C-alpha cells in the first residue's frame, strides 16, 4: 500500500514545514484531517507523508492531537520522523495555455497535467469556447481547480504544486505563458511543421504550448499567437479533442527531452 500523502503548506502557528526538525509535531489541516480519519480510516501509528507544495516532503507518524484545546478534538497530529527537499518535477518546465471548454474536461485535463509534471496551466476564453466565466464564477472555479491540483499531487508524488491561472482573455494568457528564453508553439492541424521536429529552443529551456477550444482557434487567434511569438505546429495526422491534444503534446515534448529515460 502506498504511503498516504497530505498537503501541509504550513503549521498552525505559521511555521513552514521545512523549518521543522525530526520529533516536531504538526496538526493536520482540516481537509487532510478529514481525509485521514474519515476517508482513509487511518489510525495513530500509521506512517504518512507530508508535503508543502514548494518541494519539501516529510515522513511522519500519526498520533492523536494533544488534548487541551476544543479545536483539537477528533484531530490527528503527525510527528516528523525525517524530512528533505525531494524533487520529482519534470526535466523541462512546460506551460500549457488551454482554451476554456466544458468544466468536466478541464477538471480531467488539470488532474492529468499535474500527473505528467506540467509546470503551469494557463486557462483562457477563446472565441469558440463553449464556456464563459464571469469574475465571481471564475474565482470559484479557480479555487476548485487548485483543490483538484492538490489532490493530484497527493496521488502522484509531486512536492510542488502546479501553477494554475485563469486569464481574462487569450492575449493575456499567451503572453503570460510564453517563456523568454524558450520555445512557444500553438497547435494547428494544418501547420507545415510537426511538433516533434520543431526547434526546441535549447536543452533545458522552458516550453509553452497553446491548445484551442472544441472548435479550434480562429485565423485571427492564430495570427495573434504568432505576433506574440508562438509558432504553428501540428501534432500528427489526426485531429484530437481539446482535452486530449494538450496531454499528447506534453507527453511528446517530455519524451523528446528524455523524461522517460530518467
What average pLDDT does the segment 116-139 reach? Answer: 90
User: Residues 6-43: pLDDT tens digits?
Assistant: 999 876 556 678 888 899 888 898 899 999 999 999 99
Which three three-digit cell numbers place residue 98? 488551454
What average pLDDT does the segment 116-129 reach? Answer: 96
What average pLDDT does the segment 209-233 reach? Answer: 96
Spacing of C-alpha 38 from chain mean position: 26
Mean pLDDT (the chain, rounded): 91
Rounded to whole angstroms, how far apart are CA atoms 72 and 25?
13
Domains, the chain, in order of start with CATH, read 5-85 (2.40.240.20), 94-261 (3.40.1280.10)
Q: What is the pLDDT of residue 138?
A: 83
154 pLDDT band (50/70/90 cuts)? very high
Q: What is the pLDDT of residue 19?
A: 82
Q: Where are the beta strands (DSSP E) in the chain?
A: 5-7, 25-27, 47-51, 56-64, 76-85, 94-99, 120-124, 163-166, 183-187, 207-211, 231-233
Q: What phi and psi values does residue 58 have, to the nearest 5 degrees?
A: -135, 140
Q: Which of 2-6, 55-59, 202-206, 221-225 has the lowest average pLDDT?
A: 202-206
69 pLDDT band (50/70/90 cuts)? low
Integer angstrom CA distances of residue 199 from 42, 58, 63: 50, 40, 53
Amino acid at each position: 500500500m502506498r504511503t498516504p500523502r497530505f498537503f501541509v503548506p504550513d503549521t498552525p502557528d505559521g511555521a513552514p514545514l521545512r523549518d521543522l526538525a525530526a520529533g516536531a509535531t504538526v496538526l493536520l489541516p482540516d481537509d487532510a484531517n478529514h481525509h485521514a480519519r474519515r476517508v482513509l480510516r487511518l489510525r495513530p501509528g500509521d506512517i504518512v507523508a507530508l508535503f508543502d507544495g514548494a518541494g519539501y516532503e516529510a515522513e511522519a507518524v500519526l498520533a492523536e492531537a494533544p488534548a487541551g484545546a476544543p479545536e483539537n478534538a477528533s484531530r490527528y497530529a503527525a510527528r516528523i520522523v525525517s524530512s528533505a527537499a525531494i524533487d520529482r518535477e519534470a526535466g523541462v518546465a512546460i506551460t500549457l495555455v488551454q482554451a476554456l471548454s466544458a468544466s468536466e474536461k478541464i477538471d480531467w485535463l488539470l488532474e492529468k497535467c499535474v500527473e505528467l509534471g506540467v509546470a503551469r496551466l494557463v486557462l483562457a476564453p477563446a472565441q469558440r469556447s463553449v464556456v464563459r466565466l464571469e469574475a465571481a464564477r471564475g474565482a470559484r472555479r479557480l479555487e476548485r481547480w487548485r483543490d483538484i491540483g492538490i489532490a493530484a499531487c497527493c496521488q502522484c508524488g509531486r512536492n510542488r504544486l502546479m501553477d494554475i491561472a485563469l486569464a481574462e482573455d487569450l492575449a493575456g494568457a499567451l503572453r503570460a505563458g510564453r517563456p523568454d528564453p524558450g520555445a512557444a508553439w500553438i497547435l494547428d492541424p494544418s501547420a507545415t511543421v510537426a511538433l516533434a521536429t520543431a526547434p526546441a529552443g535549447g536543452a533545458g529551456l522552458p516550453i509553452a504550448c497553446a491548445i484551442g477550444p472544441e472548435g479550434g482557434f480562429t485565423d485571427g487567434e492564430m495570427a495573434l499567437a504568432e505576433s506574440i511569438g508562438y509558432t504553428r505546429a501540428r501534432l500528427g495526422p489526426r485531429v484530437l479533442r481539446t482535452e486530449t491534444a494538450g496531454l499528447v503534446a506534453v507527453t511528446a515534448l517530455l519524451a523528446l527531452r528524455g523524461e522517460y529515460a530518467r
